[in-house]
């Protein structure tokens, strides 16, 4: 126990000695910081101190550089670069010597060029050597210019730092506003979906009260959204492309039906209608009837016929894509269905001109050499199995 105490006291004295010797050069290196160094680093530092003491006693102009880890420490210390000319620094060194100021009291510790110049002038004056440093003027000038540039950049960075903080704060505010806008947009879409659903229910009730002629009754049964009691297999069986063809005018072409594939139940249906007018342009409409709530059986329904559209499109593909985009914007009110419509939109954009409509299920399929004419693979396999 006594040996351990003596060893601990010796180590503590070593740390205090190193810290005190560094303080003679104006280097504030506490005992705790010295204790954090490894044994090898303490040995290197002690060697540098011993060489420095010998150099100071002999008034040597230069001695070994600081260990690398010490230089890193000094870089973290605060200091200022001098702007004084060479003659002023030399004169300060001579005055310090005449006043018997120790060589260790060099005032330019953090300015390497000025520190060496002050020390060199101090030592030369002690030995009576020449103080003509004309050969170093150019070098010192370049170093001073470089140090001045570094100092200017440092000051600019200090000035830019508040602006950076302000920019970061403004960015946070903008992100918060963006999130708030997205929430408001989502709420608006939900409200719009609810209003459309209420409108569809109102139209259903009005349609039930109106007495229609036998000629119009068949058309209304085809186009109007069906009630929950009649939305079963009849919706998936009776709506076919030839039923819509009779709705166009004499000069307009037949209505083409394209079905967007959505998840079961089988009563779920999302369809797009395309019709070419006498000018060769395309009108587009749609119909949807999907289960909005599986527990209550509540339906989300809506429709719009091509002849109700004032907007026309130059090509069939452009008309189809625009109507699919419209259907994906939250008007149906069922997130899962709208996500599937977005997937279908990606399919249209990924395979432009490579899709055909199945004559049985009216869904798009990618045309390749292995397909059968007019049928998708699923319908063709189903027909073979039933045949």
Please check whether residue 249 is in contact with residue 230, taking contact to mean a CB–CB distance below 8 angstroms. no
- Produce one character per residue of 336-346: b if its CB has 16 or more CB atoms within 10 Å, e if not: ebbebbeebbe
| Interval 303-343: pLDDT, tens | 998 888 788 999 888 889 889 889 888 889 888 888 888 88
| Interval 174-196: pLDDT, tens | 888 888 888 888 788 777 777 77
**Beta-ladder partners of 298:** 293
Q: What HEC string does 111-152 produce? A: CHHHHHHHHHHHHHHHHCCCCCCHHHHHHHHHHHHHHHHHHH
> What's the rounded Cα separation, in Å, for the pair 226 and 244?
16
How many residues belong to the chain? 387
pLDDT at 232: 36
Q: Average pLDDT in the 11-31 region? A: 80
pLDDT > 60? residue 214: no
What count of other Cβ atoms lies within 10 Å of the Cβ of residue 231? 21
> What's the rounded Cα separation, in Å, for the pair 368 and 227?
40
Q: Is 237 exposed, middle or buried (0-12, 13-18, 19+ CB in 10 A)?
A: exposed
The enclosing H or E element of 273 equals strand 269-276
When pLDDT is cut at 50, 70 and 90, the band that residue 273 belongs to is very high
Q: Is 282 exposed, middle or buried (0-12, 13-18, 19+ CB in 10 A)?
A: buried
Closest to 273 measured CA to CA, from 287, 285, 281: 285
Residue 326 phi/psi, 5-degree rounding, is: -60, -45
Token pair in block for residue 141: 């000038």
What count of other Cβ atoms lies within 10 Å of the Cβ of residue 321? 18
Phi/psi zone of residue 73: left (φ > 0), alpha (ψ -120 to 50 degrees), beta?
alpha
Please check whether residue 86 is in contact with residue 140, taking contact to mean a CB–CB distance below 8 angstroms. yes
> What's the rounded Cα separation, in Å, for the pair 387 and 376?
17
Q: CA 363: distance to chain centroid?
A: 38
The enclosing H or E element of 257 equals strand 256-260
Average pLDDT of the chain to the nearest whole number? 75
Q: Which of 130-134, 149-153, 234-238, 293-297 has the lowest mean pLDDT?
A: 234-238
| Interval 59-80: pLDDT, tens | 887 776 677 777 655 644 544 5
> What's the rounded Cα separation, in Å, for the pair 362 and 368?
17
> What's the rounded Cα separation, in Å, for the pair 44 and 66?
9
* C-alpha dist (Å) from residue 268 to 5, 262, 294, 299: 87, 7, 11, 9
Please give the share of the chain, as a percent, with pLDDT higher than 70: 75
Please check whether residue 359 is in contact with residue 375, taking contact to mean a CB–CB distance below 8 angstroms. yes
> What is the three-class DSSP state of 242?
helix
pLDDT > 70? residue 283: yes
When pLDDT is cut at 50, 70 and 90, the band that residue 271 belongs to is very high
> What is the three-class DSSP state of 164?
helix
> What's the rounded Cα separation, in Å, for the pair 327 and 382?
30
């Amino acid at each position: 126990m006594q040996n351990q105490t003596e060893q601990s006291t010796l180590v503590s004295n070593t740390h205090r000695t190193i810290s005190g010797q560094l303080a003679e050069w104006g280097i504030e290196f506490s005992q705790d910081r010295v204790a954090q160094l490894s044994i090898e680093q303490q040995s290197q530092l002690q060697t540098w101190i011993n060489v420095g003491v010998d150099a100071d006693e002999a008034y040597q102009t230069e001695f070994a550089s600081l260990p690398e880890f010490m230089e890193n420490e000094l870089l973290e210390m605060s200091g200022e670069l001098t702007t004084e000319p060479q003659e002023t620094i030399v004169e300060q060194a001579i005055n310090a010597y005449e006043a018997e100021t120790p060589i260790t009291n060099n005032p330019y510790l953090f300015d390497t060029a000025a520190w060496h110049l002050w020390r060199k002038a101090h030592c030369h004056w002690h030995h009576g050597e020449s103080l003509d440093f004309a050969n170093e003027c150019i070098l010192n000038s370049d170093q001073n210019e470089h140090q001045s540039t570094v100092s200017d950049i440092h000051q600019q960075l200090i000035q830019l730092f508040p602006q950076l903080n302000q920019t970061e704060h403004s960015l946070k505010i903008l992100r918060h506003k963006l999130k708030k806008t997205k929430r408001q947009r989502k709420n608006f879409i939900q409200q719009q979906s609810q209003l459309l659903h209420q409108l569809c229910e109102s139209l259903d009730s009005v349609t039930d009260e109106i007495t229609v002629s036998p000629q119009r009754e068949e058309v209304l049964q085809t186009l109007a959204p069906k009630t929950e009691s009649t939305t079963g297999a009849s919706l998936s069986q009776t709506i076919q492309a030839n039923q819509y063809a009779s709705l166009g005018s004499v000069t307009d072409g037949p209505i083409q039906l394209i079905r967007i594939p959505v998840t079961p139940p089988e009563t779920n249906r999302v369809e797009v209608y395309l019709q070419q007018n006498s000018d060769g342009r395309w009108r587009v409409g749609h119909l949807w009837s999907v289960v909005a709530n599986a527990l209550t059986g509540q339906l989300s329904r809506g429709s719009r016929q091509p002849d109700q559209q004032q907007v026309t499109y130059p090509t069939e593909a452009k008309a189809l894509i625009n109507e699919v985009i419209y259907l994906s914007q939250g008007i149906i009110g069922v997130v899962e269905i709208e996500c599937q419509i977005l997937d279908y939109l990606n399919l249209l954009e990924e395979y432009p001109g490579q899709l055909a409509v199945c004559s049985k299920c009216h869904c798009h399929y990618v045309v390749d050499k292995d397909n059968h004419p007019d049928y998708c693979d699923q319908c063709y396999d189903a027909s073979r199995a039933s045949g």
